[in-house]
Chain A
């Protein structure tokens, strides 16, 4: 039970600088959250890529099914009126 094969997978998120969101960077294996942070630090921030790290157990992430892509996301395609460009206005107020 102590082999590395048993270590769970962790998703790593890095915040590049204050003011921006944490962005997914990749994964590490680690026996617990503390070591996952350590490993993430060594693997993803060796060149000052970040100021903050999050690690989340991969198993704790619920993802949408790729097969559902069309039913989930295509309905937005024919709602072009959600975009400002859908409304033609006179040149004088073009910047509105």
Chain B
């Protein structure tokens, strides 16, 4: 038995070393499976919870066109959640269980969704910064070693580009607007900047799962590296908008061409992760209510399917 496992492990390692993909029917180490279920599920939960901050503005979008766009974006988030739950299920964990883990707090979602959306400019800042950071994180996942996750990410990344562009366009419109609108755009940037760059996770020196996930081809770049790439891409965009990034220490390092940022308040980050952000309770509560409120719909669909099946059997008899 141990010899069998050794051979299987060897085969698995060969596939990983060759940068090949692992597919659902392949043998894989338990830890690899567990890590993927956790990461994919948390990613799915983030998409699902991520509908709430923007859902808050659906009825108050400033034009019919903006409303249609925001609706389409929120609809995409739901779709992304479903692609990802589907990928997680290929690892043998049923969807019901994944939802339970979200609802009872055993699994987390991205902390970025625990902040409130106070003005319409937040729709711009979320698309530009939050989706921008998400894209930076997600593009490398299209080459993740687990086939179904990688394929889901290809679909998602294709759809994310519209999300970021519509956000930037909102910011651009506000930045070119009245002084009041410009102030609203600046205020949104002030509130979303630090949470956005925290989305890449703690510094690699403190990251818990980093090394093993790199070895397994689940993680392709370090948190700090991706954060730096995001900042370097975003600073010129803020300049273009005529907005100021709320970091007095931010400066261009001539030697590397990188924008160096000031200290990040990781104490705040962990506090939000632990449940003490401004909207943690509201987000999870809304999610659980939606699930429980939908019980009768699922029951009705099941009852209807049973009735149709019974009729078909009776007709055949």
| A interface, CB within 8 angstroms of B | 15, 18-21, 52, 79, 81-84, 86-90, 92-93, 96
Contact = CB atoms under 8 A, between A and B. Distances in A.
Interface in B20-37: 20-23, 25
Interface in B251-275: none
14 contacts: A18-B21, A18-B22, A19-B147, A81-B65, A82-B76, A83-B162, A84-B161, A87-B168, A92-B237, A92-B240, A93-B168, A93-B240, A96-B132, A96-B165
Interface of B: 15, 20-23, 25, 65, 68-69, 72, 76, 132, 147, 150-151, 159, 161-162, 164-166, 168-169, 172, 236-237, 240
Nearest to B162: A84
Given A52-B23, A89-B168, A90-B240, 14 more contacts: A15-B23, A18-B147, A19-B147, A19-B150, A79-B72, A82-B76, A84-B161, A87-B166, A89-B165, A92-B237, A93-B168, A96-B132, A96-B161, A96-B164
A52 B24 CA distance: 11
Contacts of B237: 92-93, 96
Contacts of B172: 89-90
A20 B142 CA distance: 11
A90 B161 CA distance: 15
B208 to A, nearest CB: 28
B173 to A, nearest CB: 11
Contacts of B25: 52
B153 to A, nearest CB: 12
Given A52-B23, A89-B165, A93-B168, A81 B72 contact: yes
Contacts of A88: 169
B234 to A, nearest CB: 10
Nearest to A94: B165
Contacts of B20: 18-19
A74 B22 CA distance: 37
A87 B23 contact: no
A21 to B, nearest CB: 6
Contacts of A19: 20-21, 23, 147, 150-151
Interface centre among A81, A83, A90 (most CB of B within 10 A): A81
Contacts of B15: 18
B240 to A, nearest CB: 6
Q: Which 10 A-B pairs have the closest CB atoms?
A: A19-B21, A87-B165, A84-B161, A18-B21, A84-B162, A81-B69, A87-B169, A84-B165, A18-B20, A82-B72
Contacts of B151: 19-21
Contacts of B168: 87, 89, 93, 96
B18 to A, nearest CB: 9
Contacts of A83: 162
A88 B21 CA distance: 37
B23 A18 contact: yes
Nearest to B148: A21
A52 B236 CA distance: 47
* Residue with the highest number of chain B CB atoms closer than 10 Å, among A15, A18, A86: A18
Given A89-B169, A96-B168, A82 B162 contact: yes
A64 to B, nearest CB: 18
B240 A86 contact: no
Contact of A87 (B162, B236, B240): B162
Contacts of A93: 168, 237, 240
Given A81-B162, A84-B161, A92 B236 contact: yes
Nearest to A22: B23
A83 to B, nearest CB: 6
A82 B151 CA distance: 20
A82 B72 CA distance: 7
A2 B25 CA distance: 33
Contacts of B161: 84, 96
